[in-house]
Structure 1
Amino acid sequence: MEFPRFTFNPKEGIDNPALVIADDPEPDARPVPRLCQLKHLEGQSFGFNLSVDQSGRPLEIRDVEPWSPAEHSGLRNGDRLLEVNEEYVGSVDFRRVVRKIWWSGVHLFLLVLRKEDYEQSVSEGLDLQKLAEASKGDGWSRPRLCHISRDPDHGLGMTITSMNAGQQSRFHVSTISDGPAERAGVRTGDVLLWINGVSASALTSSALNRLVRKSVDSVTVLVIDGDGEACYVRRKMAILPAVARSSTLPYNAKSMHLVKRQEGYGFLLRQERVTSPQKIAHILREVDEGSAAEDAGMEDGDLLLAVNGEPVETMEHDDVVKTIKGSGDRVSLTAISMEGREFYREMRISPLLFHEEHFLNSIEVQGETSPRNPTRPGKDGDKQGSGSLSFLEPPEPFFSQPSHKTDVFL
């Protein structure tokens, strides 16, 4: 028996009722956040504006400057900010987000969504925090920055093993139970990424041994577990102290909240030359006994890091003075001892990097301050943003939601 021949004519389509072609079901296509890795030079801005409306949301990226670190990283106008340095900020107070960016140092990692994807996610009721976490993949964990003090009996309490002895290689760590390294947060099986400010990938086994022997009293290491490292590799993301957790560093900055008295604050701010690449520093001197400054914890010789949360180390001295005076009768100063500043300089990280929790605790203990216009003046002729940081409108006190649209250039 001869069957009728079927001929497909693309102009007429398929006219054989026996043929049914169904489209494959569409996968659950959820918006994918984008990771932007920024790095700026000392004294340079990141080159973008962060904005919120009167409700305090969303955190919107605006005014990305051409040729800036922000544009180079792929950050775009209208992007909605989800994470800063691997921490979700979607429900965090605006000024805390600003401080996290200000205090991150020269490296900054932002996770963002396109405006359209953000609005779609909100309209569909998606959990943005889970969306951010899902973008990192299985096995994600943050690196840990651990300061290990040498024990007279057990030394550092860890052994570092090279996977390729005699050449640049990966180093794995094993610890003794309840030894100095383990108590500092290091775990057996961790990958060593960084030691005393030096990338482990740049060291041979012999160079690493020399560095450890040279560190008589302590070492500071950046470590991560193997699954966490693999996750960062998949994301093509650098593993740096800026994204780490830390709780064991020997020096911490302190925030002091001063209320002016009849005799003033009771201290002198001097510009002095110090032994570091910075060369010039703003030093707190002549703290009067019983003054507002002494009661807040200020000590002679402290190095000033920030005024009202804004870093000032690279600012001109006159501009720092103007910022303090412009705060009115209340001001928040963040400072560190000279020994602490030297430690962070040797580690090549900002002394403000892990200060957020200490800042919050001191706010709770001492009460709120109300910086009135924490603006960094630029040099004459500079456009705003060419190395300047400013609130474009007078902000409300820290930790309160703004009652109007607020922008901060970063």
Structure 2
Amino acid sequence: AAMKQTKGLDGDKKSIIKFEFNPKDGIDNPALSLTEDTGVDGVGEPRFYFLSKGSTETFGFCLHEELGCHGHIIRQIELGGLAQRRGLQDGDRLLQVNGYFVDHMDHHRVVQKIKASGNQVLLAVLDSSSYEAAKALGKDLSQMLPADIRPRLCHITRDKSGFGFSVSSPEGVKGIFQLSVWQDGPAERAGVPPGSWLLELNGASVKSYSQTQLARKLKQSGNKVTLLVASSAVEEFYRLRGLRITAALADTSWLPFKVRELHMVKGPAGYGFLLKEDDCSSGATGQFLWDIDVGLPAEQAGMKEGDRLLAVNGESIEGLDHQQTVLRIRAHDDQVTLLVIDPAGDEFYQSVG
């Protein structure tokens, strides 16, 4: 997705995030309406918003860092924009991005986290007066938030006993599947929580599947299957707040394929790699890393032939052409941080969407 950032991101007082948004995406996301439930200590509850964007409109807010104020501050909420429609308020403090606590983070890193989230992001905020009251009382803001609100992506390889789980669903109801996980079986080893709810199978939503259709899809999957699942606690968190659970919010730490972050300081002979544009397995165009020189910074950082480049200095390169990507890498003269994935991992993620 194309992302635009206005000038000022590198300023030390203020950072502004602008996104292009497709109004067709996300209009079925219910707006979250919560009353301000302020406790006796003047501290209200955090509020959660799921924002989904495409490519023609903005998220509709800016994120500021201001002198004399604590926290990452929601400002410049566009009239009629997505943020306003969902209920974000001017002065709200951002506490969490996709389940990660960010209040203590460097402002620029928080901006990068939102940008790296792509088309969808889950934000937790606290109103301005509650935030200031909590800070004055010395409260640990992270303790005001649920411990884990992310669904999991799990990749299961069948053994002689099967995938290691069974499925139950209400009779005559489509799309509601709860998993019983066998002890020490493939599903448990792949990280599927006991009693979790199944949301997607191999990148496709199961909400329209009957039990028979689901069994057929599992059989067609062969020896490996990738599931998006939510524990009962996570499922309840989203349901009670009227929020949608999507793979974009998932904990991917259980997957066998990892993205890698490579930090390089340029040497006298450069970084020691070539960036080439080529087609991805999905048919889209990608930027790939080749001709890695032995002993130079790229190899020392762990770069491998054929790695695909995903982000430069924390910002996704999705939507950039080859020349724009090269300029992004050269933006800082002497060092760069690249997010990459190897060909096997790339193919896997393309296959599960």
TM-score range, shorter chain: 0.7 to 0.9
Aligned to 1:143: 151
Aligned to 1:343: 348
| Distance in 2, Cα, partners of 1:58 & 1:158 | 44
Contact 1:142 1:224 in 2 (8 A): yes
Cα distance, 1:303 vs. partner? 1.0
**Helix, strand or coil at the partner of 1:231:** helix
Change (3 A) 1:325 1:235: same
Which runs of structure 2 are paired with 1:3-402 in the superposition (5 Å)? 28=40, 30-41=43-54, 46-53=59-66, 57-66=70-79, 68-133=81-146, 142-151=150-159, 153-165=160-172, 167-277=173-283, 279-348=284-353
User: Normalised by the size of structure 1, how large is the TM-score?
Assistant: 0.69
Change (3 A) 1:117 1:157: same
Give the fraction of aligned pairs with identical amino acids, expressed as a percent.
Answer: 38
Q: Aligned-residue CA RMSD in angstroms?
A: 2.7
Paired amino acid for 1:329: D
Cα distance, 1:227 vs. partner? 4.3
**Helix, strand or coil at the partner of 2:94:** strand
Cα distance, 1:222 vs. partner? 2.2
| Distance in 1, Cα, partners of 2:44 & 2:260 | 40
Cα distance, 1:330 vs. partner? 0.9
Change (3 A) 1:70 1:315: farther
Contact 2:112 2:315 in 1 (8 A): yes
| Distance in 1, Cα, partners of 2:320 & 2:276 | 13
**Helix, strand or coil at the partner of 2:207:** helix
**Helix, strand or coil at the partner of 2:50:** strand
Task: Please give the per-residue CA displacement for 1:48-90, whole angstroms capped at 9, x wherever unaligned.
Answer: 3222246894111223345554344333332211111233222
Paired amino acid for 1:220: T
Task: Please give the per-residue CA displacement for 1:216-253, whole angstroms capped at 9, x wherever unaligned.
Answer: 23212122333442332111121223444342212111
| Distance in 2, Cα, partners of 1:175 & 1:58 | 42
Contact 1:261 1:292 in 2 (8 A): yes
Contact 1:52 1:58 in 2 (8 A): yes
| Distance in 2, Cα, partners of 1:266 & 1:141 | 41
Paired amino acid for 2:157: S
Name which one, 1 or 2, has greater alpha-carbon Rg.
Answer: 1
Bigger shift: residues 40-49 or 299-308: 40-49
Number of residue equivalences: 315
Change (3 A) 1:44 1:146: farther
Cα distance, 1:178 vs. partner? 0.3
Paired amino acid for 2:87: G
| Distance in 2, Cα, partners of 1:311 & 1:339 | 20
User: Normalised by the size of structure 2, how large is the TM-score?
Assistant: 0.79
Give the structure, 1 or 2, with the largest relative contact order (CA under 8 Å, sep 6 or more). 1
| Distance in 2, Cα, partners of 1:56 & 1:266 | 44
Paired amino acid for 1:319: Q
Paired amino acid for 1:265: Y
Paired amino acid for 2:123: L
**Helix, strand or coil at the partner of 1:202:** coil
**Helix, strand or coil at the partner of 2:144:** helix
